Structure 1
Amino acid sequence: MNSLLKKLSLGITASILCVACQSNDIEKEQETVVHTLTGQVWNLTTLAGVKATLGENNKPVSIEFLTEKNTYRGYGGCNNYSGRYESEEHNLEIGPARATRMFCQKGSEQENKLFNALSAVDNYIISEKTLTVSDDLNQVLAVFTTK
């Protein structure tokens, strides 16, 4: 009887350990989500090597690439903007931004720099949750992150 209890106890312990191992594997799989250019909103973290500031109402500056008609849209810190883009592998060409015409005390200067940077984008790299866009000389223009 005593050895039966020991075997049962060992079996239960082994089962619990296996479940714990499986849940760790599931967590690791969930952590390794592959991010693509499309499918999420990218928030600006640095622009021309300078830490980005929040826009009006402390809203993050952002860009989102849509698969539909190769369009993009975002918030520049003052105005909403949109346009078209072309992407193939790691090459990226962002067309001129069409923006609303609001005047803001905060965010306008950074917004103008963002639009200039976007027009100079030639390529991009996504590493984990970070999108880095560069010009044709591979100089980093802006860095974005996503959740």
Structure 2
Amino acid sequence: MARSRSRHVAIAAMLALAGCASASDNATPDGEWTVAAIGGDAVAGDPPLTLTIGQDRYGGYAGCNRYGGAVTVTGGAIAFGPAAATRMFCGGPGQMEREQALFDSLQAADSWRLEADRLVLDDGEGGTVLTLDRAP
């Protein structure tokens, strides 16, 4: 009887742990994010640069233009398709360059990880290309 009870306790513990593992495995980069840094350079601005990921699509605001495209997420891998963007010209200092840096970073990203309310996108060499904070 004691042996049977021990087995039941062990099985219940394994099922509980399996439930925890599957919850973390279900984490995704889906959601609304604000760009905190491109590469190692902090990004500030009002309104902020944004990225929304969901249902195989991404989009957002790049500081001048709105953009969007297809995204594929498989486990910890991520691949952003080319961005389609509106074609407004904004003449603020560095605005168009920052926008292009955002698009280039999305293209370079090939893996993602969550650190609390922060999404980090890395390139194939392990360098961080984008750091994003969960939008309020």
TM superposition score category, shorter chain reference: 0.7 to 0.9
The corresponding residue for 1:104 is 90
Show structure 2 runs of 5+ residues with no match: 1-25
Letter in 1 for 2:32: V
Bigger helix share: 1
Is 1:134 the equivalent of 2:122? yes
Residue in structure 2 matching 1:46, options 37, 53, 56: 37
Q: Which segments of 5 or more consecutive residues in structure 1 lack a partner in the other structure?
A: 1-33
Is 1:125 paired with 2:116? no
In structure 2, give the amino acid aligned to 1:85: V
Q: Which amino acid aligns with 1:144?
A: L
Q: Does 1:84 align with 2:70?
A: yes
Q: In structure 2, what is the equivalent of residue 61 of structure 1?
A: 49
State the 1:108 CA deviation.
1.3
TM-score by length of structure 2 reads: 0.75
Partners of 2:47 and 2:91 in 1: CA distance = 14
In 2, the alpha carbon distance for the partners of 1:48 and 1:37 equals: 18
State percent identity of aligned pairs. Answer: 28
- Between the aligned partners of 2:64 and 2:43, the Cα distance in structure 1 is 13
| TM-score between the two structures when normalised by the length of structure 1 | 0.70
- Equivalents in 1 of 2:27, 2:102: separation in Å? 22
Amino acid at match of 1:78: C
In structure 1, how many angstroms separate the alpha carbons of the residues matched to 2:121 and 2:91?
A: 27
Structure-2 separation of matches of 1:145 and 1:35: 16
Contact 1:73 1:83 in 2 (8 A): yes
Matched-pair contact (CA < 8 Å) for 1:35–1:128: no
**C-alpha offsets along residues 81-122 of structure 1, whole Å, 9 cap, x if unaligned?**
000011111100011100000011232110000101110111
Give the 3-state SS of the residue equivalent to 1:138 in structure 2. coil
**2:133 is matched with which residue?**
145
Aligned: 1:72 with 2:32: no
